[in-house]
Chain A
């Protein structure tokens, strides 16, 4: 699949159809999960009532912030080894989308935490380890974007950015572990997506109520599709820009 699409011509043909489909499906799925999540599902009486509705945006964006950084590093690796132009175009397109989702994850998480963790905790946003590792992630993305913007030629920017993305990805697990050890008393709940619980609220039930899980999975799918559509759009724009630049260069040479 990937090697098939590595041909820019085939990529452009594929993405012409993929962008609108991914976009429409993504928006529909996000809309469905938000409609159900905000208006239909009952408030969660055990954990902050209506605040659980933030989850349908918060958790998918958390997954995308990690996933997109891994994708960024993957694309950078492919570009660094095989120098395939499309991989660099992809890395360049992933960065702003990933930064956006990381910011979204941090914002929704702080709102949720600020209201949900209540007065028993110190209402610290900059004190919870899982929120902090998201924030550090955001700075990794911002550093990547800033480095790309600072270097003059495209080739140089691509190489430097690829080195940075690879240095970043080997550090991400270490940063994650160290931040987890910094605040052993995180108040952020354990991941419960993979534990399916009963539909009746019970104090000892660790899993997630299927009513919520369903909306969450719609959100997952929708945001993943929307992010793919946005990345493909940026990639198409970049390919067109490069083509235009090439034609201008040819014109100037008098062909």
Chain B
């Protein structure tokens, strides 16, 4: 069975969009590393303090760097007409939106997860916490991109909507952030991990429908 054409094209387009302009991929990575690098300057260089706040700092950096690319997720499609084509096709716009956000997560969220051990190591995060932290960042990042995608879809027709997207999305980030930070401390076999998983599944279920409704509106 092959995936319907609009879904494939959405995936390909989102993927090539990110690769075609090298900066698009490097931007969130650079932002992530830069934010984490600033932390010792603001909190001081004590090793014990840094290793204690390290995982939390990485969560903050992840939440902020997910914002960097969100503004472009749907705005470009609206401007170049791709959105209208997807809407004319019989396929579901919610699915297309989900594919687009997942691809964005794959391109600009997942590399942050891969980079986590490096920055975590530099901040002195204990190595035993690294695997749960990476798992948490992967799931939490997905939540961030999904709710951020809703905010981006709602403000797709707003010029320079970056700050608006941040204001709309940040309250929705709160649960994943809380459970994520807790699970890094408590490990994979803790209730916090299950709650984070529940948040991820909930976002996967609700956000695409909301994005679909918002995109249908943006295209008018």
Contact = CB atoms under 8 A, between A and B. Distances in A.
Contact of A179 (B158, B172, B178, B207): B178
Interface residues of B, number: 28
> Range of interface residues on chain A?
20 to 34
Given A139-B170, A142-B167, A170-B206, A150 B195 contact: no
Nearest to A172: B171
B171 A140 contact: yes
Given A156-B217, A163-B213, A178-B179, A146 B206 contact: no
Interface in B173-220: 174-175, 178-179, 182, 192, 195, 199, 202, 206-207, 210, 213-214, 217, 220
Interface string B143-160: 000000010001101100
Contact of A143 (B168, B192, B207): B168
B164 interface: yes
B178 A167 contact: no
Interface residues of B, dominant DSSP: helix
Contacts of B117: none
A92 to B, nearest CB: 16
Contacts, number: 76
B161 interface: yes
5 contacts: A147-B155, A177-B175, A181-B178, A181-B192, A181-B195
Interface of B: 150, 154-155, 157-158, 161, 164, 167-168, 170-172, 174-175, 178-179, 182, 192, 195, 199, 202, 206-207, 210, 213-214, 217, 220
Given A150-B158, A160-B214, A179-B178, 11 more contacts: A147-B155, A156-B157, A156-B220, A163-B217, A166-B210, A170-B206, A171-B171, A175-B171, A178-B174, A181-B195, A182-B178
